[in-house]
Structure 1
Amino acid sequence: MKNEPLHRDAAALEHRITIKAPEPSDMEAFAAIMSLPGVRRGTLQLGYRTVEQIAAWHERRLGKGVTVGAWLDGQLVGHAGLSVYPRARSHGAELGICVHDAYHGRGVGTALVQALVDSADGALGLRRIELTVFADNAPAIALYRKFGFVEEGRSRGYALRDGVLADALHMARLAEAPAFTPLTPVTSL
């Protein structure tokens, strides 16, 4: 019904979202998302990149972490990734995410961040995930807080957005090291 609250629509959509690794054939849809007005305004990435530029960027990221896409009814509606840091910082990664303008507030960001947090904790063994978000992006900040991210600092005039320098927050999620259970020696009978 038209008058149903958005949260009901979001719950219904959340169950239909598929998370999987993007394929080279998905780069055209990804480039289109990156050029949407809300994505350009809400991320620290450049918009208006060609499919070839997006594909090259995506290719460089492969093998350095995890990249996932969110599909709804066969359409790419979001993209996110973890870029694992090298050497002494290999316990951490940077998170980046974008959601199609028409799907904000409908569970896509939650599904993407959940997939990345699950990968960070379960497969990658990461202890720290970092991100940077515009300080006035309240919905994104609320999403990150839901997954245990906390503010660690604020950079004034951090990035140019719409011709004006905007502040950004630096947030991180720290995870405890997994418990270690020593093996019990096998005794012969």
Structure 2
Amino acid sequence: MVIKVRRAEPADAQAIKEIYEHPNAYSGTLQLPHPSVELWEKRISNVPDNVYSYVAMLDDQIVGNLGMEVCVNPRRRHVASFGMGVRDDAAGKGVGSALLKTAIDLADNWLNLKRLEITAYTDNERAICLYKKFGFIVEGESEAFAFRNGKYVSAYHMARIVKDA
């Protein structure tokens, strides 16, 4: 099983929409259930210069998505935040790792970023383990961060900082 990661293209909108139709994908992110293809067409077609969007492919099928936004504030141009989702049926197959490796390579070797940030729900153990595997640490927690499935959920603020050599 080979996972390929590439830049997302407008033609990928339907497949990305399908990722976020999966309960774990929308429950573990700030996405809402039942996304429209028009929403994703708009997001993928109008990507600003400071945003990078990727898809992961498993057996030529799009099964994961990562979006990374570099801060435009002059005092935070060394920082990017990202979000990602993986189809429920592709979870645990290395898709998240492949997407995260791509984002980290871009951040470290091409964009000269010092800090990557992610917010993860405190009950999303799979995501938290993935981020820790790549050197992210929990920097804080926000109670009642988001409303999901009829109740408020807390989130960790995590970051990976490139240490000076």
User: Aligned pair 1:105/2:108, yes or no?
Assistant: no
- List per-residue Cα deviations over 1:77-97 (Å, max 9, x = no partner): 001021000121110011111
Residue 8 of structure 2 contacts residue 55 of structure 2 at CA under 8 Å; is this kept in 1?
A: yes
Map 1:154-165 → 2, pairs under 5 A: 154-165=141-152
Would you say 1:43 and 2:43 are equivalent positions? no
Code of the residue aligned with 1:145 in structure 2: it is K
Gaps of at least 5 residues in structure 1 are 1-12, 180-189
The whole-number CA distance in structure 1 between the counterparts of 2:48 and 2:19 is 19
Query: What's the counterpart of residue 13 of structure 2?
Result: 27
Structure 1 residue 149: deviation in Å?
A: 0.4
What are the within-5 Å matches in structure 2 for residues 2-21 of structure 1?
Answer: 13=1, 16-21=2-7
1:10 corresponds to: none
Is the 1:64–1:83 contact (alpha carbons within 8 Å) kept by the matching residues of 2? yes
Secondary structure of 2:159 counterpart: strand
Mapped partners of 2:33, 2:40: distance in 1: 10
Higher strand fraction (1 or 2): 2
**Larger Rg belongs to:** 1
> Residue 185 of structure 1 corresponds to which residue in structure 2?
none
Question: Residues 9 and 44 of structure 2 are in contact (CA less than 8 Å); yes or no, is this contact kept in structure 1?
Answer: no
- Of the candidates 155, 162, 165, which is equivalent to residue 168 of structure 1? 155
- Structure 2 stretches of 5 or more lacking a match? none
Matched, 1:115 2:107: no
TM-score, normalization: structure 1?
A: 0.83
Q: Contact 1:61–1:83 at 8 Å: present in 2 too? A: no
- Matched residue type, 1:28: Q
Q: 2:117 aligns with which of 114, 130, 144?
A: 130
The answer as to whether partners of 1:66 and 1:119 remain within 8 angstroms in 2 is: no
CA distance in 2 between partners of 1:60 and 1:127 (Å):
26
- The count of residues paired between Structure 1 and Structure 2 equals 164
| Rounded Cα–Cα distance in structure 2 between residues aligned with 1:23 and 1:82 | 15
1:51 counterpart letter in structure 2 = V
Pair 1:20–1:149, CA change in 2 (3 A): same
Q: Confirm whether residue 92 of structure 1 aligns to residue 79 of structure 2.
A: yes
Question: How many angstroms apart in 2 are the aligned matches of 1:88 and 1:61?
Answer: 22
1:57 maps to a residue whose letter is: R
Cα pair 1:149 1:172 within 8 Å, conserved: yes
Say if 1:83 and 1:93, in contact at 8 Å, map to a contact too. yes
RMSD of aligned residue pairs (Cα, Å): 1.2
Secondary structure of 1:61 counterpart: coil
Letter in 2 for 1:19: V
Query: In the alignment, residue 52 of structure 1 is paired with which amino acid?
Result: E
